[in-house]
């Protein structure tokens, strides 16, 4: 491979990593621990989950526990690293969580049924502290729009959770 091709390749890899970092700040955290090909989807799910955790302005211990559980469910091979991942993820600023990028990753790679199943995780987070706040409901409704889940399915899933 010529030197120019090597430089272009290195530049493109660096650029790709930087774009993911900007779009989803959870991706670089997870890539420290895993090189799974679906890491962007896992990061998107955790990003949406964080939006619910941050929605009411209070990060309850119960919400942290659910986030820990989700990390372990989504990344079972990293169970021993879950506390570090959780701490790093909780340090992310809510304003850095761009839902459009999370939705783009999930809509491209997941079927609607899978996105609907994921919504049940979000309802669990919203209700875990026994206070289903209107702010949490609003964020979940927005997420439904981003994930192309219609209102009828939103109501069905909310009642199911």
CA distances from 16 to 4, 28, 71, 95, 109 (A): 18, 11, 24, 21, 18
- Given a cut of 70, is residue 28 above it in pLDDT? yes
Q: What is the pTM of this model?
A: 0.82
133-154 pLDDT, tens digit each: 788 889 999 999 999 999 999 8
Task: Please tell me which residue, 16 or 75, carries the higher pLDDT value.
Answer: 75
CA distances from 56 to 4, 100, 114, 138 (A): 51, 20, 26, 10
- Given a cut of 50, is residue 72 above it in pLDDT? yes
Reported as type and span, the H/E element at residue 114 is helix 112-127
Averaged pLDDT score across all residues of the chain: 86
Cα angle 111, 63, 20; round to 5 = 50
Predicted confidence at residue 2, as pLDDT, reads: 56
Cα 11 from Cα 122, distance rounded (Å)? 37
pLDDT band at 57 (very low <50, low <70, confident <90, very high): confident
Over residues 122-135, the mean pLDDT reads: 84
Q: At what angle do helices 134-146 and 151-160 cross, to 10 degrees?
A: 130
75-101 pLDDT, tens digit each: 999 989 999 999 999 999 888 888 999
The share of the chain scoring above pLDDT 90, in percent, equals 63
pLDDT band at 18 (very low <50, low <70, confident <90, very high): very low
């Amino acid at each position: 491979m010529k030197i120019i091709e090597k430089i272009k390749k290195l530049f493109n890899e660096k650029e790709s990593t930087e774009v993911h970092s900007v779009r989803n700040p959870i991706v670089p955290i997870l890539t420290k621990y895993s090189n799974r090909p679906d890491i962007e989807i896992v990061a998107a799910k955790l990003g949406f989950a964080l939006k619910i955790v941050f929605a009411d302005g209070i990060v309850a211990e119960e919400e942290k526990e659910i986030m820990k559980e989700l990390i372990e469910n989504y990344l079972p091979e990293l169970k021993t690293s879950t506390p570090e991942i959780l701490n790093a993820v909780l340090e992310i600023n809510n304003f850095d969580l761009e839902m459009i990028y999370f939705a783009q990753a999930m809509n491209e790679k997941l079927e609607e049924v899978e996105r609907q199943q994921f919504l049940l995780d979000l309802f669990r987070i919203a209700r875990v502290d026994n206070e289903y706040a209107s702010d949490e409901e609003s964020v979940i409704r927005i997420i439904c729009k981003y994930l192309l889940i219609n209102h009828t399915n939103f109501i069905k899933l909310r009642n199911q959770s």
